[in-house]
Chain A
């Protein structure tokens, strides 16, 4: 916890004397990720001619954004010492609920969105409550919700629609206004920036402020660093963790809403396996798997690396058979760089 507070107060201007600029930079958890992102960015900018074009930028920002929204929430949860394996499937569950209510029950899209939000928050709260109540690892508890949601997604969708995807939300009431919020595009020159990119930036900013500038942010570091110590000094640990689980569920709802309103159809098996991508982005962004250390901005940068690499590989016209290998090597490199910086950061602190 103290570690984190120091990190936040090491921001330029808040300490007149102390470590040099270099040392202050080096203790930030996101610095390794930022360097990695720069490396990936320069690399693909040089070897491909379209990576830096407005259309190209819009493509990789788009890819990074939905991953980033989730990665930031997952990072907060990881700093709080927990995992959420149901996060990937949650993006499909919320989209399916919204679509089923709007298309098959004839609800206004806004009410459907509200209902899926309530449902998501309930699942999040349930995850958190169960983890705190039983003391079971969140890995197990959320694995359970992951499987349960996956089954519900398929079962309910097939039961209601007779098929495995829900489409047709475009003609539901309130689609236009809701679509404007979650799926509009912003034209900057030739680049068409998706609404999810704006959501990503805004949510990252909010998460970063909450994490390093509020009491709640300190609680997150505290419960992730040492739960018993946190409780001993009066941190409401249960409440903090439950809110964190609800935050990832909320992020899942945002991503689910962006995807259903943009793509206007959702498949029952969507989102399976994405939870690992979120965790990878958070780890690349400087979060420790053991909790108590990390940053929201770092996670957003981690997602950016992921998106740039994934689309950059296509721009580079590499054979897609090798795609996962490239991605794996890239991620390992990013984590290794990160790790090095973290060790150096710990030396500076001592």
Chain B
């Protein structure tokens, strides 16, 4: 295409060298070179006033609501101002971390579902002298990026534990239901479960569309009658799976990750074998305590080794004890 340019172009052309000069300004540095070694700059013991919690949970997610409640409870107990923000998109989450650094918070708590994407922002925070505790996912990268600790549950270990328990109950073929396409933790759980169980397939559903999730689970069970165990990775999907099993009349056993009141009811009624609880309340609460101990007393926990919050199992034996806690949003 030919762009015939009119006289206005002459004027703009005079600007071009300036634009070019601005672009190649000497202060420019590449993405690989701009990060200093991720070592925590020495901090004098002081007071922890504010903590920013930045997670990858989407707003309104029941699981992350418990994390938020945990962080806020710790803030209340310790007299620390806790700000909770979240964004599912890794780039957007990185920007929220940058924002917290710009605010000059005293401590940072970050969930690392996508560690690579958060690395520059986390290292920037560490370089600015802000202690970081990672939570939930990203256990293996946590100390590499300069965090003082990690609080979470190893996803593949939890998956294996769930798979083993299902296999022990005498099931032969497993269907593992993934509800978030881009979530690496979900994949690790299913891989772990399938590995420990021995024989299984995965199914992709969309958590934002419960009707579709239920009919897909039903369809999978009708298509393969040999499936006798279903593992879901989220409490909302668990309820859909229970209904799907009922509609397809397959009689498969259902187990799930995470709790909510529906899951509690289903366990009581014997429709769900068990729920793997990663006790994410601790993933909100403990980091604030860790940061407090670090800020005021320069303590770290276990030399930076991950603090495991799960897996804990909820089944018919202990379901009554946790039911009330689930209702109040702390389990």
Contacts and interface: CB of A to CB of B under 8 A. Distances in A.
A269 B88 CA distance: 10
B99 A269 contact: no
Contacts of A24: none
Contact of B120 (A168, A214, A262, A317): A262
Interface string B75-104: 000000001111001111011101111111
Interface in A53-82: 53, 55-56, 58-59, 62-63, 66
Contact of B182 (A165, A239, A261, A315): A165
Interface stretch (B29-37, B40-48, B265-273, B279-287): B29-37
A50 interface: yes
B128 to A, nearest CB: 9
Contacts, number: 149
Interface residues of A, number: 58
B176 to A, nearest CB: 14
Nearest to A8: B8
A265 B28 contact: no
B102 A267 contact: no
Given A184-B30, A213-B8, A267-B182, A62 B98 contact: yes
A263 B34 contact: no
A276 interface: no
Contacts of B180: 269
A154 interface: yes
Contact of B5 (A63, A154, A214): A214
B98 A239 contact: no
A25 B303 CA distance: 63
A314 interface: yes
B312 interface: no
A320 B59 CA distance: 8
B116 interface: yes
Given A55-B102, A58-B98, A239-B1, A165 B30 contact: no
Contact of A205 (B19, B34, B114): B19
29 contacts: A50-B104, A53-B102, A56-B99, A59-B102, A164-B187, A165-B182, A175-B32, A176-B32, A183-B31, A184-B29, A185-B34, A187-B27, A205-B12, A209-B8, A215-B3, A216-B1, A259-B91, A263-B91, A263-B116, A264-B31, A264-B116, A264-B117, A265-B115, A267-B182, A269-B181, A270-B89, A270-B182, A314-B99, A320-B85
